[in-house]
Amino acid sequence: MFDLINEIGQTMRNNKLRTGLTGFAVAWGIFMLIILLGLSRGLMSGFEANSSERNLNSVSVWRGMTSIPYKGYKEGRQIRLKASTVDKLNQSNNKYIGNASAYNYIDSAKVTGPKDYVSNGIEGIAPESQRDQRIKIYAGRFINQADMNNNRKVMVISRKTAKTIFGSDSTEVIGQRVKSLGLAWTIVGLFDREWGEDDNYVPFNTAVALSGGDPSIWSMNVYIENVSDEKTALEAEDAIRGELAKIYDFHPADRSAAPMWNRFTNYLQNKEGMKILDYAVWIIGIFTMLSGIVGVSNIMFVSVRERTHEIGIRRAIGAKRRNILTQIILESVSITTIFGYLGIVMGMIVMQIIAHFFGNGGSGNSPLGNPTVDLSIALKVTLVLIIAGALAGLFPALKATKVKPVEALRDE
Amino acid sequence: MIIRLKDINKTYPGVVPLHVLKDINLDIERGELVAIMGASGSGKSTLLNILGILDNYDSGEYFLDGVLIKDLSENRAAELRNRMIGFVFQSFNLISYKNAVENVALPLFYQGVSRRKRNMLAMEQLERMGLADRAHHLPGELSGGQKQRVAIARSLITNPSIILADEPTGALDSTTSHDVMNLFRELNAEGMTIVIVTHDPGVGAATNRIIRISDGRIVPDEPVIAEQPQIIV
């Protein structure tokens, strides 16, 4: 084996330019494959990171309009979601329906502090919405269940708002009072977020009580349970629609009466899309590499042609067909593998640079998560390289074995 | 009897088939030094190719050292060439990017002999040829005579039954030719069977027996030993 490697090394050194040019084509192909794979991995890990920050198993429901006549009502009736529906859904014992929550926005409200006031309104929110809204608490705490149960007059504001109305965003603000809708509220937390810094959060139940009676809401969020695939996710939607149909008297199959956005099915679809992207990248990459492989094959043909005489000598002094075949194929595999690895290393270096400047290690707003290529991909690529190299060498090698020593040795 | 040819016929197919060897019968004894002579196109190269198991024949029988050489598989032919025949060519046929030792050792590579042992045996052969100091030179750095001696060392390394030489002096000047022929005679004196194909009468005269071939047939033997004093040595 060592001898064979030595033989190959000798022929490669003997044809430096040829080996180099062929190798470049292969290295370039692999380089492109690694870059493509890295970028697609980056997109995917970015997507996964984004997904994991949100609750995937939830369904949003909006106000809708009926499209099917039902129980004497004509179609085209507005369905206004009521705050009380949240409680009704929470009392449901359907196996798919989990916790429901909603927002109640009182847009006329001013929030007044010791220094200044803001007039952004206040927003009734449930504790579980913190994650969906990606509200990062900077100091203090978010709205909790006790606030909800007791209709407490507590408020969570942004650091920016705190600076405006208190002139400070330090933790001393926690526990201070502000005025809104003619009532005194206690600040229990400060949040930090790149968008939506104007929101002022209060407990949902408190906001509902302040609105008086049973205010209508724009949308609600329902957690779904026991879902694992597309089918159960759709059944969960049907279950929610069925509950709402009972409350609002619309046909249980009337989709437009309660339009929904199912994050879970959306996630599944995105995941499917990502899978297709991955396949596409492999296919494009392999075709890019193919041009390199064809180059190797071509150069091996030339090499066999040039070395007809040498192959003739080897055959005359006792080389079997198998010896010649293995030598040519291994030569081809060595060229593809050595230069392929060069391409992998270059690709990885470039991806590390891209990761350094554009990646974010799975947080923030960049669509690129971690755009680096892991070991399993390197192994897959190695396998591809060896197979490709062997294929590239096969036909030239078969041609080489057909060299007849008599003809090859005839003096030109 | 190391070589026995019985009624060998060979025809190259084509629009006009070419019958190159016609009922060749030839026996060569172990330890002979034989020249096969003939004009160009007489069929002597084809005969050498058949003797060297590089080419097939159509009918007849060829025994090499007791082995019937007929309808062999490619692999078997390669194996027999490797073990039983040492080739020496007009144009040396050394591999240009391998040094002298590596060239000499190459037949042993195909026998699967370890690198160290191979190179040791190759060095022995080169020393025998007086080329020990040229062992690590590439063929391009050697003179014609040195190249041919490397080729002869290569043909000897597998300890073959016969050496087949195809115009071994064709590319050499007269002095060097002389040296090479003396080398062949020395090897023959040590017991090696040698068959030389040539059209050079001087080379023929330096052998013990001349087989003349003309138009695909062997011209009846003329013993040369009697009239051939040892003028060369």
CATH of the domain at B129: 3.40.50.300
Inter-chain CB proximity B110 and A319 less than 8 Å: yes
Q: Is residue B194 part of a domain?
A: yes
Strands (E), chain B: 3-12, 18-28, 33-37, 59-64, 67-68, 85-88, 162-166, 193-198, 209-214, 217-223
Nearest chain B residue to A310, by CA: B95
**CB-CB neighbors (< 8 A) of A315 in chain B:** 78
**CB-CB neighbors (< 8 A) of B82 in chain A:** 317-318
Inter-chain CB proximity A318 and B78 less than 8 Å: yes
Phi-psi region of A152 (alpha: psi -120 to 50; beta: other; left: phi over 0): beta
Q: Is residue B163 part of a domain?
A: yes
Asked if A125 and A222 sit in the same domain, the reply is: yes
pLDDT exceeds cutoff 80 at A137: yes
Inter-chain CB proximity A316 and B87 less than 8 Å: yes
Asked if A213 and A242 sit in the same domain, the reply is: yes
Structure confidence at residue A364 (pLDDT): 45
Written as six digits, the tokens of B54 are 């590089």
Confidence of residue A287 (pLDDT cuts 50, 70, 90): confident
Inter-chain CB proximity B82 and A411 less than 8 Å: no
Q: Are strands A216-217 and A104-106 parallel, antiparallel or unpaired?
A: unpaired
Q: Is residue B229 part of a domain?
A: no
Q: Is residue B230 part of a domain?
A: no
Asked if A49 and A66 sit in the same domain, the reply is: no
Confidence of residue A363 (pLDDT cuts 50, 70, 90): very low
Kindly report the average pLDDT of chain A as a whole number. 84
Pick among B46, B80, B87 to test the A interface (most A CBs inside 10 A): B87
CB pairs under 8 A between A and B: 61
Written as six digits, the tokens of A270 are 């995105």
**A 312-341: CB under 8 A from B:** 312-323
Q: Please, where are the H alpha helices in A200-320?
A: 204-211, 230-248, 263-306, 308-316
Q: Is residue B231 part of a domain?
A: no
For residue A87, give its domain range: 58-262
Nearest chain A residue to B93, by CA: A313
Kindly report, residue by residue over B57-87, the tens digit of the pLDDT. Answer: 999 999 999 999 998 998 999 999 999 999 9
How many alpha carbons fall within 13 Å on the CB side of residue A71? 11
Which one is predicted more confidently, A212 or B39? B39
User: How close does chain A come to B32, measured CA to CA in Å?
Assistant: 22
Confidence of residue A95 (pLDDT cuts 50, 70, 90): confident
Asked if A217 and A251 sit in the same domain, the reply is: yes
Nearest chain B residue to A315, by CA: B78
Nearest chain A residue to B118, by CA: A3
Asked if A122 and A254 sit in the same domain, the reply is: yes
Inter-chain CB proximity B95 and A319 less than 8 Å: no
* Chain B CB within 8 Å of residue A405 CB: yes
Inter-chain CB proximity A320 and B97 less than 8 Å: no
Q: Of all helices (H) and strands (E), which one includes residue A62?
A: strand A58-62
User: How close does chain B come to A280, measured CA to CA in Å?
Assistant: 45
Domain boundary among A262, A286, A305: A262
Q: How many domains does chain B have?
A: 1
Cα distance between the two ends of chain B: 27
pLDDT exceeds cutoff 70 at A53: no
Asked if A306 and A195 sit in the same domain, the reply is: no
User: How close does chain B come to A403, measured CA to CA in Å?
Assistant: 12
Query: What are the percentages of helix, strand and coil residues in chain A, rounded to 5?
Result: 55, 15, 25
Q: Poorest-confidence range of A310-324, A347-361, B7-21, B70-84?
A: A347-361
The model's pTM: 0.66
Asked if A98 and A245 sit in the same domain, the reply is: yes
| Type of residue numbered A109 | A
Q: Is residue B233 part of a domain?
A: no
By Cβ distance, the residue of B55, B78, B95 closest to A313 is: B95
**CB-CB neighbors (< 8 A) of B81 in chain A:** 316-318
The residues near B122 (Cβ < 8 Å, ≥ 6 apart) are B101, B102, B104, B105, B108, B135, B153, B157
* Residues B142, B96 contacting (CB under 8 angstroms): no
**CB-CB neighbors (< 8 A) of B52 in chain A:** 316
Confidence of residue A373 (pLDDT cuts 50, 70, 90): low
Average pLDDT rounded to a whole number, residues B119-139: 94
Q: Is residue B232 part of a domain?
A: no
ipTM: 0.88
Asked if A154 and A34 sit in the same domain, the reply is: no
**Which backbone phi and psi does B229 adopt, to 5 degrees?**
-70, 165
Q: Is residue B64 part of a domain?
A: yes
Inter-chain CB proximity A320 and B95 less than 8 Å: no
For residue B210, give its domain range: 3-223
Asked if A244 and A293 sit in the same domain, the reply is: no
**CB-CB neighbors (< 8 A) of B115 in chain A:** 2-3
Q: How many domains does chain A have?
A: 2
